[in-house]
Structure 1
Amino acid sequence: MFGAWSSEATSRNVQDASMYERYEQWMARYGRQYSNMNEKETRFNIFKKNVAFIESSNNNADKPYKLSVNQFADLTAEEFKSQRTGFKGPGDLPPLTTTFKYENVSVVPSSLDWRTKGAVMPVKDQGECGSCWAFATVGALEGAIQLATGKLISMSEQELVDCNVGGENEGCNGGYPDVAFLYIIEKHGLTNEANYPYTASDNVCNATEVDTPSGSITAYEDVPVNSELDLLKAVANQPVSVCIQASGAFMSYSSGVLTGPCGTDLDHCVTAVGYGTSDDGIDYWLLKNSWGTEWGEEGYARIQRNIEAVEGMCGIATSASYAIV
């Protein structure tokens, strides 16, 4: 009996040693340093749990997507949500827009990728700031301006973080794309990233740079709620800001078409920049994220499209909007 227990304990120690070596390699890759050994040990235990979840998911051959041990592997789900998302619901805002310019669209391409048409800037990184709402807004804005003018300009998320504050939008503490679109309309445009670079932090609004807009819009519209068909009509015509629930597998997503499980408690906003059907026949949305190029498919994700639930996968059809130039 004692021998069996000793053998089992030794096996666990070997496994822990192997995992710790993997942890050290992961720390070196991502330049992770901790203030003391207690913190390092705490993070190691979180790392172990995340790796177990990732490997369990990847061992399921029925899943058409893969997860990876990425730069977020030492974070709990709660920490990740507070640092890397940032959607805040509409609260006491005025009624959402009631017009939908693509209502009568009847024919759309079977697949579309706005990256190939020059309407998408390279992937950016919001850092440890709950500013996804600003990046989703800017992604949709950049696309709309390019389609209207032929010029693709990297616009300033930091202006929104610093200046579009009060009410629903609170910089790194979260925000709502519709409010950001209203700000851009009221300020007669948004400045570009070169004028007002991103810092991943809340700062005092730079009034000088705000007075030099690089692109403006006349209006924005919301896609009718709970309709993937209407969302398809919009994305077929321009990049669209969409909000989703990014908990669970999304944090460690690496490749393929994410098919859930996924809820509809929205916490993160991204830009829908296309759609299509995978080689194994799964319809998907193509999403541009704001977590850098080491996450996902070089910063992008594909999530399942045309599902039974009207909200769409991860709630993608419940809060979508686009700019009108």
Structure 2
Amino acid sequence: MVDFSKVRAIDFHTHAEEACGCHDDDGYDELQATMAEYFGAPWSHPPTIDQTAAHYRDMNIAAVIFPVDAERETGYRRYDNYEVADAAAKHSDILIPFASIDPAKGRLGAREARDLVEHHGIRGFKFHPTMQGFYPNDRAAYPLYEAIAESGRPALFHTGQTGVGSGMRGGNGMRLKYSNPMYTDDLAVDFPDMPIILAHPSFPWQEEALSVANHKPNVYIDLSGWSPKYFPPILVRYANSLLKDKMLFGSDWPMIAPEKWLAAFDRAEFKDEVRPLILKENAMRLLGVSA
């Protein structure tokens, strides 16, 4: 269990990758290499969960870590949630495991979600509408949301433009339209007790994201995927005021290293009293943990 009194921050957005570069058969390695070039990430293959844990332990930062299940839409086989849970359990002093289930799996996915929470220590769920090819308010996803809501665990949704497929022919089939954060507004109404996290500055729908988070008590924003030096002024303004209790530090590791994000955050125009909220306190409250 993470000792939250000792870690200096909680990174709410890191990605789990398999231990070997074994996706040549489905094109996943090419996708990752293109993303690494897009973000300027300095590695040939993404770090494993063990390597991620070691890095975050050195940084004294706890990390929410998850895979992305987009098998149906992309053809890339998923990193099995049970394998991720087992790997993260070896590093429970620093890693907080989330799972990812394609909503198209319906009741089968709902059963998996319940089992992962009850028996495998999963603390939340990650969705990537653009990669998974669905609108977040699609009723077909509701059986899965119902299972997540029952557990009290948060659901984290990619929003806005993505580096996934950026620059590839046809964007590698990724459709940006699915990740407009306004579609999560329906979920906040229909599942008012399920914490919902909008991942990233939601370009080009930043104001939509701020509107939903401002209007709905159960909606938060993680600040991953962008260096803080590029944050839109309106996002910083809301983080310093109306939404100061709803903003979460996130890096988007391994595409953006936490130390790189934090260095830019130190230079950004956030109020001193807001910084600890973003870096750790808001995440602790959302996860239901104490120091």
TM-score by length of 1: 0.23
TM-score by length of 2: 0.24
Q: Which has the higher helix share?
A: 2
